[in-house]
Structure 1
Amino acid sequence: MTPTPRSFSHIGLSVPDLEAAVKFYSEVMGFYTIMGPTEVTEDDSDIGQMCTDVFGPGWNSLRIAHLASADRIGFELFEFDGNQAPENNLDFRRHGTFHFAIQDPDLEGLLTRIVEAGGKQRMPVREYFPDEKPYRMVYVEDPFGIVFEIYSHSYELTYSAGAYS
Structure 2
Amino acid sequence: MKASKYPRSFSHIGITVPDIEKAVSFYTEVMGWYHIMGPAKVAKEKGTAIGQMCIDVLGEDWESFEIVHLSTSDGIGVELFSFPHGKKEAPEFNPFNTGLFHFCVQDPDIEGLTQKIVEHGGKQRMPIREYYPGEKPYKMVYVEDPFGIVFEIYTHSYELTYSSGAYQNEE
TM class, shorter-length: over 0.9
Q: CA deviation at 1:58?
A: 2.1
The letter for the 1-side match of 2:49 is D
User: What is the CA–CA distance in structure 1 between the aligned matches of 2:149 and 2:88, rounded to whole Å?
Assistant: 10
Range 72-81 or range 1-10, more displaced? 1-10
Does residue 50 in structure 1 map to residue 53 in structure 2?
A: yes
The letter for the 1-side match of 2:43 is T
Does residue 13 in structure 1 map to residue 3 in structure 2?
A: no
Query: For the aligned residues, what is the CA RMSD?
Result: 1.5
> Are the equivalent residues in 2 in contact too, given 1:15–1:144 (CA < 8 A)?
yes
Q: Which runs of 5+ in 1 are unaligned?
A: none
Please point out which of 129, 134, 139 is paired with 1:136: 139
Q: Which residue of 2 aligns with 1:74?
A: 77
Please point out which of 24, 28, 42 is paired with 1:40: 42
Q: Which residue of 2 aligns with 1:97?
A: 100
Q: Percent identity?
A: 61
Q: Which residue of 2 aligns with 1:62?
A: 65
Aligned length: 162
Give 3-state SS (helix, strand or coil) of 2:28's partner. Answer: helix
The letter for the 2-side match of 1:84 is K
> Are the equivalent residues in 2 in contact too, given 1:15–1:83 (CA < 8 A)?
no
The TM-score, its normalising length taken from structure 1, stands at: 0.94
The TM-score, its normalising length taken from structure 2, stands at: 0.90
User: What is the CA–CA distance in structure 1 between the aligned matches of 2:76 and 2:110, rounded to whole Å?
Assistant: 19
Q: Which runs of 5+ in 2 are unaligned?
A: 166-171
Determine which structure has more spread, i.e. the larger CA radius of gyration. 2
